[in-house]
Amino acid sequence: MTRWPPITASATLPPGQAGSRRVTSNDNPLILQVALAARLRQTLDYLPPAGSEALARPGMRVEVPLGRRSTVGYITGLARESTLPRSRLRAVHALLDPVPLWDDTVLGLLCWAAAYYHHPLGDVLAAALPAALREGAAATAEVTLWQLSAAGLEALAGGPRLGKRQQELVARLKEGPVTADELSGTGLREALRGLARRGWIESFAEPVPPPPAGHGSGLAPTLTDAQRTACDAITGSLGGFAAWLLHGVTGSGKTEVYLQLIRRVLEAGQGALVLVPEIALTPQLVARFRNRLAVPIVTLHSSMTDTERLSAWRAAHSGAAPVVIGTRSAVFTPLPGLGLVVVDEEHDPSYKQQEGFRYSARDLAVARAQRQGVPVVLGSATPSLESLHNVAEGRYRRLALPERTGRAGKPRIAVVDLRHHAARDGLAQPVIAAIERHLADRGQVLVYLNRRGYAPTLYCTGCGWIAPCPACDARLTVHMRRARLTCHHCGTDEPMPFGCPKCGSEVRPVGQGTERVEHALNDLFPGVPLVRVDRDVIRRRGDIERALEKVATGKARILLGTQMLTKGHDYPDVTLVAILNADQGLFGADFRASERLAQQIVQVSGRAGRGDRPGEVLIQSAFPDNPLLTSLVTEGYEGFANRALAERQAAGWPPYSRLALLRADGPDRGEVFAFLREARDLAGGAGEVRILGPAAAAMERRAGRYRAQLLLESPARGPLQRLLDAWLPQVEALKAPRRIRWSMDVDPIEVD
Ligand code: ADP
Ligand code: ZN
Ligand code: ZN
């Protein structure tokens, strides 16, 4: 573990200020409540470090003794009393930060989130930091500069003998201070060390300059009436908490509304936090913000290096960058004077962290705004059913942007009945005919299939054998070009067999993935350039921009891909959208499957077409009478959402109930179920909370481990939280075999 230099009063505060915050009462001196970055649910009490008692504040890191080791923790609170006698409390070794990492609001949010999601607090705090800070980097950014010292100047006046490098360095230093980094590659760093040893140079620290500001010279368009109404309403709520659902189709001008609101917030000397789904955080989006806002803007997303994330975090923390645009974990970024929170595409499942500290960044964004007393704007063309329900309940207020700026009306949507039109390689005749028609009209065509690979199944024509994943309850997907069979759940990757390993007969790929449809389209429309977008071909950041550039410039006429296509990009020349497999979503194992499908259909359709070219959308389904599908086609997303909400209510699913999921997995099925049964028994009569299971997961075996779960269902938050508070410590104390892993997921977004 990295060791920090301890912070001492003299090193961090100007003379005279040290001790000014000293506790003056004669009560017991302070006790520090410290969360350790470990699986501990409680904080531990420590005494402040000798000599700097008065500097300790919540949100600072400390080095503390733990047994015979020492470890790093976070001060989460100050107290006068401990459950332990003072004589048994140990003192913190060192205070590691001169200033808190988080203000009281964010620290309060993090403590609340740890309690709500039932995750160890130290782990939550660590998860909220960029890796570099977890590993010991300083919270404030300073550069160390070197200059000639008085002693050095005096010595140099005597004309000492210097090496060539030293002479060169002295010449540079006479022009002004330098940083060690500026000298890298010049061969002068060694000379710098030499002069430092003699005491001829001295260092001093300066804050790093803020990141460059956007030029902000871009012109704001005149807002449409709907945009103005939304802007005015939200502006009126600045300075207090309010949750707004900005419901507007893609291209209706939501981002424009965010930009104008952020301008107001900046004019008031405050900052804004903007959350976007991972894939939507493109250079174009950031450029659009920089073009309009003349302040430093930083981004935070997963493909930044640790160093980049650290400097972005520092710029936000110090207030140097008042606008932060980031993905999920950016919700924890400290931002002094936060005045507005925006969550774009609030329905997006990527806001849910699915591992470790499982949280919903969307929900935490609302909680943060509430604690901060500022408005939060949740934007979407396809709001989550939760948010629509919150509107119905009066917790959120809805603002609609019904029209696309500069575009024709809604696309025409029709269902192609697969019972009457057999599909060849996934494409039914009416869809093929429509593609032909639109291509002939010089339109572009978007073909959507949420399944990558060539085919989801390899089947033996002789004995019916189906290529299984050896480690999962799943079939291997055929990847024809690579001639491999791969498992999309565990990564198993095998060569494709030439014949059936059981009987030697011919094997055949069954079903379609994007790779197969690409072949089919190339055969049907030879010479028509096609771009495919899925995880097999888009691997690095920037790949998708390059692929879509071909569509934007008209070099490609057919765009084929998975749900990667549903986010963040517009396809203005696309006049036909074909959805090849709607039934996957209608009959998914999860209760949210149809919501996801509807969102994907509406999102992908909404990104196509513009003014002079109304779009056409064709959805292939073998179940065209499905009521959810019919309501989507005839009444649009809102019709669908009303019906889906009614179904959820009838079934007692969220948002009409609250769920928590205790998942467990292990190499032995019996052990996993025994553990879950024991856990279940500990809950006793759970009162209003129903406990269902243990039940096997939809895919029971994955990567060689058996997976099962207990589902807790409660009519409201309160009873569920009370049960979890009492029950989880007991589950934790269970002597389960070490091979069993388990986790708690509060408000899970997938329950299969
Ligand atoms: P959304 O975020 O809802 O997808 P955008 O804010 O990106 O919508 O707007 C879509 C397009 O319309 C953008 O090119 C934007 O510059 C433009 N636009 C937005 N509002 C207006 C307006 N009031 N007048 C003219 N163009 C606008
Ligand atoms: Zn066979
Ligand atoms: Zn597998």
Nearest Cα residue to 96 out of 12, 21, 204: 12
Which residues, in sequence order, are CB contacts of 211 under 8 Å at separation 6+? 296, 297, 298, 311, 312, 315, 320, 321
Residues 291-347 have pLDDT tens digits of 999 999 999 998 899 999 999 999 999 999 999 999 999 999 999 999 999 999 999
The mean predicted confidence, pLDDT, of the chain is: 89
Nearest Cα residue to 271 out of 324, 231, 310: 324
Percent of the chain with pLDDT over 90: 66
Nearest Cα residue to 686 out of 656, 728, 714, 658: 714
Residues 377-407 have pLDDT tens digits of 999 999 999 999 999 999 999 999 986 665 5
Q: Which amino acid is at 628?
A: L
Q: Which amino acid is at 157?
A: A
Q: Are 576 and 436 in contact (CB under 8 A)?
A: no
Residues 750, 342, 278: CA angle, nearest 5 degrees: 50
Percent of the chain with pLDDT over 70: 94
Ligand 3 midpoint to CA 532 (Å): 25
Residues 47, 48, 50: CA angle, nearest 5 degrees: 110
The pLDDT of residue 739 is above 80: yes
What is the per-residue pLDDT for 250?
Answer: 78
Q: Is the CB of 400 under 6 A from ligand 1?
A: no
> What are phi and psi for residue 444, nearest 5 degrees?
-105, 155
Nearest Cα residue to 677 out of 667, 688, 690, 664: 664
- Ligand 3 (ion): residues with CB under 5 Å are 469, 471-472, 487, 489-490, 492
Q: Which residue do the tokens 């160093």 mark?
A: 307
Ligand 3 midpoint to CA 395 (Å): 43
Pocket test for ligand 1, best of 343, 345, 405 (most atoms within 8 A of CB): 405
Residues 679-732 have pLDDT tens digits of 999 998 768 999 998 999 999 999 999 999 999 999 999 999 999 999 999 999
DSSP label at residue 570: -
What is the per-residue pLDDT for 189?
Answer: 82
What is the per-residue pLDDT for 666?
Answer: 97
> Which has the higher per-residue pLDDT, 586 or 56?
56
What is the per-residue pLDDT for 14?
Answer: 32
Strand bridging mode 375-380 / 242-248: parallel
SS3 306: helix
Q: Which amino acid is at 360?
A: S
Pocket test for ligand 1, best of 224, 254, 255 (most atoms within 8 A of CB): 255
* Residue 223 Cα: closest atom of ligand 1: 23
What is the per-residue pLDDT for 612?
Answer: 65
Q: Model's pTM, two decimal places?
A: 0.88
The pLDDT of residue 5 is above 50: no
Nearest Cα residue to 105 out of 369, 375, 378: 369
* Residue 248 Cα: closest atom of ligand 1: 3
Which residues, in sequence order, are CB contacts of 367 under 8 Å at separation 6+? 109, 112, 113
* Residue 258 Cα: closest atom of ligand 1: 6
What is the per-residue pLDDT for 29?
Answer: 65
Q: Is the CB of 603 under 6 A from ligand 1?
A: no
Strand bridging mode 69-79 / 61-66: antiparallel
Which residues, in sequence order, are CB contacts of 163 under 8 Å at separation 6+? 191
Which residue, by CA, sits nearest to atom 6 of ligand 1? 253
Nearest Cα residue to 397 out of 388, 405, 406: 388
Tell me the pLDDT band of 356, cut-offs 50, 70 and 90. very high
* Residue 250 Cα: closest atom of ligand 1: 4
For 133-140, what is the mean pLDDT?
89
Q: Is the CB of 227 under 6 A from ligand 1?
A: yes
What is the per-residue pLDDT for 251?
Answer: 79
The pLDDT of residue 228 is above 70: yes
Residues 176-206 have pLDDT tens digits of 888 877 777 787 888 888 888 888 988 887 7
Sheet holding 94-95, edge to edge: 44-46, 31-36, 69-79, 61-66, 94-95
The pLDDT of residue 89 is above 60: yes
Residue 371 corresponds to which tokens in the numbers above? Answer: 């604690």
What is the per-residue pLDDT for 27?
Answer: 52
125: left (phi over 0), alpha (psi -120 to 50) or beta: alpha
Ligand 2 midpoint to CA 496 (Å): 14
> Rounded to an integer, what distance in angstroms lies between the CA atom of residue 277 and that of residue 272?
17
Residue 494 corresponds to which tokens in the numbers above? Answer: 């095998």
Which residue, by CA, sits nearest to atom 15 of ligand 1? 253
The pLDDT of residue 53 is above 80: no
End-to-end Cα, the chain, rounded Å? 39
SS3 content of the chain, % helix, strand, coil (to 5): 35, 25, 40
For 442-456, what is the mean pLDDT?
94
Residues 642-691 have pLDDT tens digits of 999 999 999 999 999 999 999 999 999 999 999 999 999 999 876 899 99
The pLDDT of residue 4 is above 60: no
Tell me the pLDDT band of 20, cut-offs 50, 70 and 90. very low
> Rounded to an integer, what distance in angstroms lies between the CA atom of residue 526 and that of residue 497?
30
The pLDDT of residue 476 is above 70: yes
Strand bridging mode 427-428 / 423-424: antiparallel
483: left (phi over 0), alpha (psi -120 to 50) or beta: left
Nearest Cα residue to 603 out of 595, 613, 611, 591: 595
